[in-house]
Structure 1
Amino acid sequence: MSTKDKITYMKTLGSRIREKRKILGITQKVLGTFVGVSAVAVTQWEKDETAPKGANLFSLARALKCDPHWLLNGKDTAKAEPNAEWAGGFETWGSDSPLGDDEVEIPFYMEVELAAGDGIIDCREYQGPKLRFAKSTLKRQGVNSDHAACVKVNGNSMEPVLPNGSTVGVDTAHTDIVDGKMYAINHDGMLRVKMLYKLPGGGLRLRSYNLDEYPDERLDADQLKLVTVIGKVFWYSVLI
């Protein structure tokens, strides 16, 4: 570890917030507006009188263009795979763009309407925009490209993990529910992305990350007639 790295690591959470804010050239008031808190709250964070938690921490990291893990302890989150692989895996492309040897096209449903409970339309018939994805990465995830699609997430129910405008990859071949995993579902004609949990008696619990605004939804066996599991979420990307 270099001397500079040691100094960065030894700084407090408040000093790291202040450092990044000044580098970006924004005031405490502006930063508070980005995060959704008052300038007083930002001042308290920078003085280490209080600390950002939960959604505020993620919003603060997005506003400061840094890793939340770095804000907390001065170190970036260790990643199992290079970011470049993920960023390079998905990109918008036209029908005339050549594919690489390790690339495959995945349909990207930016505006999805579920008609008559059918869920996502047949991928083979899709003529809209597509995303480019590495075959090797799909293979490691156990995903067949013939059963993969990407959809856009709207709203704030899944924040801070999936902010409004995020993109998720859905494996339509995997519809068996594993408690706590994320799924795309057709809920009475609405496309929704939720964590699912099986309940005794054949019921189902739908959970959002933003529990403060979106408490758990419990569906009994009769209500499940309105729900179709489209597929398991195997990948997601967020806009910062």
Structure 2
Amino acid sequence: MKTFNNRVKSRRDELGLTQLQLAKKVGVSSVTISQWESGDYSPKGKNLYKLADALECSPNWLILGEEKQTKPLSNAEWAGGLETWGSDSPLHDDEVEVPFYMDVELAAGAGICEVREYHGPKLRFAKSTLKKQGVSIDAAACVKVNGNSMEPVLPHGSTVGVDTASTNIIDGKMYAINHDGMLRVKMLYRLPGGGMRLRSYNTDEWPDEHISHDQVQQVKVIGKVFWYSVLI
């Protein structure tokens, strides 16, 4: 059975790239590529998406071996660092303010109890960025991710942007959910008979959870994750 490091090497060989050539495409050293291929450790955050882009495949295929694509199809895109700001900060013509609920966390793991929203700092987004993602300004919100079940894509402490108007499930996309009073972030899949599957990227520690038709009412989809940012 192929693992992440096997898929990296086999895809690199398919494209006829040397480790040095791939390293230049990703923006890392050839030693790093060698370590990824030997299984010493795996890329996280933006490096994972840069690797998928360089290998012309999806991050999902690299991590899980699913749905090999000719180009990366990400659940969210790297958008650089974060800058919190207050009501006294100037707002440029192409900028909008999106609430950043700093004391609300989406648990990448077993979940945490829902807490009251905090109307404080905001994050700056370009109107063009939200328009490109099809996200209404009024429906956008940002929250933190707590836990390791979505690593290496969403390490502990990541911040995600959620489109609260997008609640229809598209198989394999990442969603913020309220699971019986706990806020979580998972990839969702619909199952025959009206059930649902919750999937993590870190499947070694967090296997798939199957929600039956009788239990599916316990899962409320808050919105689809359209953006994320992490500190590596």
- 2:37 counterpart SS class: coil
Contact 2:79/2:227 (<8 A) preserved: no
Unaligned runs of 5+ in 2: 1-17, 24-28, 56-70, 73-77, 107-113
Percent of matched pairs sharing the same residue: 66
CA–CA separation in structure 2 for the residues paired with 1:68 and 1:111: 33
RMSD: 3.9
Amino acid aligned to 1:162: L
Contact 1:165/1:238 (<8 A) preserved: yes
* Structure 1 position 203 matched with structure 2 position 188: no
Q: Which residue of 1 aligns with 2:4?
A: none
Contact 2:105/2:145 (<8 A) preserved: no
CA–CA separation in structure 1 for the residues paired with 2:208 and 2:194: 16
Match of 1:186 among 178, 185, 191: 178
- Post-superposition shift, 1:146? 0.3
CA–CA separation in structure 1 for the residues paired with 2:104 and 2:216: 21
Q: Which residue of 2 aligns with 1:30?
A: none
Match of 2:150 among 137, 145, 158: 158
Contact 2:144/2:159 (<8 A) preserved: yes
Distance 1:120 1:199, change over 3 A: farther
Q: Which residue of 2 aligns with 1:23?
A: none
* Structure 1 position 56 matched with structure 2 position 70: no
Amino acid aligned to 2:163: D
Contact 1:205/1:219 (<8 A) preserved: yes
Distance 1:106 1:52, change over 3 A: farther
The 5 Å alignment of 1:73-152 reads: 86-87=79-80, 90-112=82-104, 127-152=119-144
- Post-superposition shift, 1:170? 0.3
Q: Point out which structure has higher relative CO (alpha carbons under 8 A, 6+ apart).
A: 2
CA–CA separation in structure 2 for the residues paired with 1:220 and 1:162: 27
Contact 1:208/1:214 (<8 A) preserved: yes
Unaligned runs of 5+ in 1: 1-5, 21-44, 73-77, 80-84
- 1:192 counterpart SS class: strand
Distance 1:130 1:199, change over 3 A: same
Distance 1:177 1:214, change over 3 A: same
Contact 2:85/2:121 (<8 A) preserved: yes
Number of corresponding residues: 185
Match of 2:31 among 17, 21, 25: 17
| TM-score normalized with structure 1 length | 0.65
Structure showing the higher helix proportion among its residues? 1
Contact 2:133/2:226 (<8 A) preserved: yes
Q: Deviations over 1:157-210 (max 9, x none)?
A: 000011111111000001000101100000011110000000011100000000
Q: Which residue of 2 aligns with 1:238?
A: 230
| TM-score normalized with structure 2 length | 0.67
CA–CA separation in structure 2 for the residues paired with 1:109 and 1:167: 10
Contact 1:113/1:190 (<8 A) preserved: no
CA–CA separation in structure 1 for the residues paired with 2:103 and 2:54: 35
Structure showing the higher strand proportion among its residues? 2
- Post-superposition shift, 1:120? 8.5
Amino acid aligned to 1:220: S
CA–CA separation in structure 2 for the residues paired with 1:160 and 1:7: 21
- Post-superposition shift, 1:87? 3.0
Amino acid aligned to 1:9: Q
Q: Deviations over 1:11-35 (max 9, x none)?
A: 9xxx8227x9xxxxxxxxxxxxxxx
